[in-house]
Amino acid sequence: MEKPRKKPSRQQVFTLLVQVGRKDGDGLPEGATGGALMVYASGVDEAEAVRETVAILKQADLAPLDVTGYGTHEERQAQGHEIGDDEQELMQRALDENSVVVAQMTPFFNGEESSEDDVAH
């Protein structure tokens, strides 16, 4: 008997910007009023990617407030976004692992921003 062929994955990777508020144990620096996370999340559609991202961030004791979707790799390229090799590697990792990859965390301090790069969850 032949093994049934594996269905091609319908998973895609979406670029999301998630704004978070403060919560005990959130790991944000002291004095931060919240933050933003650049995330690459896999899903069959953007709604699923957002749901999975919010669920995982809540498990990590973060308080997601708002999610902005920037689309898939192809959609971003069509909009003229430049996507570097590092970013493509993180997107591929999210797809390969069917996961959510936090590429960058930026804490907010009374309206000011600072950056912590390459924080992965």
Percent of the chain with pLDDT over 70: 83
Q: What is the pLDDT of residues 26-69, one digit of tens each?
A: 999 999 999 999 999 999 999 999 999 999 999 999 999 999 99
Q: What is the pTM of this model?
A: 0.82
pLDDT band per the 50, 70, 90 thresholds, residue 4: low
Distance separating alpha carbons of residues 121 and 107, to the nearest angstrom: 16
Work out the number of other CB atoms within 10 angstroms of the CB of residue 16: 23
Q: Number of folded domains in the chain?
A: 1
pLDDT in the model for residue 110: 83
Domain boundaries, position 55: 12-109
pLDDT in the model for residue 1: 56
94: in domain? yes
65: in domain? yes
Question: Which residues are bridge partners to 105 per DSSP?
Answer: 37, 116
